Amino acid sequence: MARIIDAPLTTGDGGSCDPRTIHGAWGALDAAGRRGLAYTAEVRAETDHLYEQVKHVVPAIEWPAYAPLIAAINKMKRDKNAVILAHNYMTSEIFYCVGDFRGDSLQLAREAAETDAQLIVQAGVHFMAETSKILAPEKTVLIPDMRAGCSLAASITGEDVRLIKAKYPGVPVVTYVNTSADVKAESDVCCTSSNAAAVVEWAAKTWNSDRVIMLPDEFLAKNVAAQTGVKIISWHGRCEVHERFTAEDIAELREAHPGVVVLAHPECPPDVMAAADFAGSTAALQSYVLDNRPGKVVLLTECSMSDNVAGAAPDVDFVRPCNLCPHMKRITLEAIYDALAEMKHEVTIPEDVRVRAKRAIDAMLSLPKEKPRSFETGKAPVAVELV
Ligand code: SF4
């Protein structure tokens, strides 16, 4: 049942490696050694308290490999007035030990806009770093690995959106934040998986339209259509992590783990959403676990999410079939260390694109702040028009 996407990743030395080993303790040990870092008494004193938050996923024998990088990164953050925005899909040693702000893309975007720090390191993928730069143009935003992309963001361009708008004049364009700045710049309003249904309803009402263009995630669009009753025109983008879950997976899980509570992310196919017990954004999934404390739970989303929620809910038993996002996993402690040490890779956006993209994000942020909205499960599938 447990599956890992084996994507061809490359080490900093140019050799190829498996995403599991790039994050392994031996890789970190080697990486720390090559950077002249060691597990000294001083490092131990600085990091012992951090280990408490990751001991459920990092064996004690492996901690001396991670701790020197963590201590060095935290020192550089202090010296350079930097913060690290850590997405929920980061591995736990990044999420808990060097992340200053943690959460989903909406939470991180808000933090980027509000932080006093002049330097932001995005522990996430490229579109998230662009979103930070759009909202905080006066700050330096670094992405530790320029190759940290996203199958959804890569599925559509600004030119595609212009063509779609020409085909459907007057229909509002709602764009998922998992897109490039170019695509956001062509949109009326952005959304995240936390507020997608609310934004689509708002757009339909504000434009007085019975249809909304929602880009680029086909499954999120179908899932929102089932929740809202708004007719949706969408695109054939898919998250390569969530599209792999199936309703059969859920049936197998229920058989193998009687009583397990199944939580799904709305980038999953509609039949998965229908078969789950609860569905919502990563923020909604985390809240569900923390508020309801199910005895046994499975999160149908990226692998690190369960590890990170488990850190805050040690009493909950997590069943962990998952799919790994090879893009998120390009962000490692060593890549973050190098980004801070060498001030790379700076994210820049042409000003005219940034200003237009910000308008779409601001339109989303100006809507009343509400709790991440969950998706009702058990719904019959609703067709959307795919461009
Ligand atoms: S998990 Fe999916 S949506 Fe998120 S970055 Fe990876 S490919 Fe993109």
Chain mean pLDDT for the chain: 91
CA of 150 to the centre of ligand 1 (A): 5
Helices assigned H by DSSP within the chain:
19-22, 25-34, 41-54, 63-80, 92-95, 105-114, 126-135, 158-167, 181-185, 196-206, 218-228, 247-256, 270-275, 282-292, 303-312, 333-342, 351-365
221 Cβ inside 6 Å of ligand 1? no
Per-residue confidence (pLDDT) for residue 235, from 0 to 100 = 98
Q: Which residue matches tokens 């080993």?
A: 21
| Ligand 1 neighbourhood includes 85 CB (under 6 angstroms) | no
pLDDT reading at 4 higher than 50: no
pLDDT in tens, 42-88: 999 999 999 999 999 999 999 999 999 999 999 999 999 999 999 99
Q: Is residue 144's pLDDT more than 80?
A: yes
Ligand 1 contact, 151 CB (< 6 A): yes
Answer whether 152 contacts ligand 1 (Cβ < 6 A): yes
CATH 3.40.50.10800 residue ranges of the chain are: 9-149+327-342, 153-241+351-371, 242-319
Q: When comparing pLDDT for 19 and 305, which is higher? A: 305
> How sure is the predictor about 370, in pLDDT bands with cuts at 50, 70 and 90?
confident
CATH number belonging to domain 242-319: 3.40.50.10800
| Protein residue closest via CA to atom 3 of ligand 1 | 239
| Closest-lying ligand 1 atom to the alpha carbon of residue 301 | 1
Given a cut of 50, whether residue 345 has pLDDT beyond it is yes
CATH of domain 153-241+351-371: 3.40.50.10800
C-alpha–C-alpha distance, residues 47 and 97, integer Å: 8
How many angstroms does the Cα of residue 39 sit away from the middle of ligand 1? Answer: 34
pLDDT at 11: 31
User: What class does CATH assign to 9-149+327-342?
Assistant: alpha beta
Q: Best mutation site among 3, 4, 125 for ligand 1, i.e. most ligand atoms within 8 A of its Cβ? A: 125
Query: Tens digits of per-residue pLDDT, 145-181?
Result: 999 999 999 999 999 999 999 999 999 999 999 999 9
pLDDT of 9 strictly over 60: no
**CB of 22 shorter than 6 A to ligand 1:** no
More confident site: 340 or 32: 340
Q: What confidence category does residue 272 fall into, taking pLDDT thresholds of 50, 70 and 90?
A: very high
Cα(4) to centroid(ligand 1), Å = 14
Give 261's strand partners: 297
- Quote the ligand 1 centre to 48 CA distance (angstroms): 32
Residue 5's pLDDT band, with cuts at 50, 70 and 90, is very low
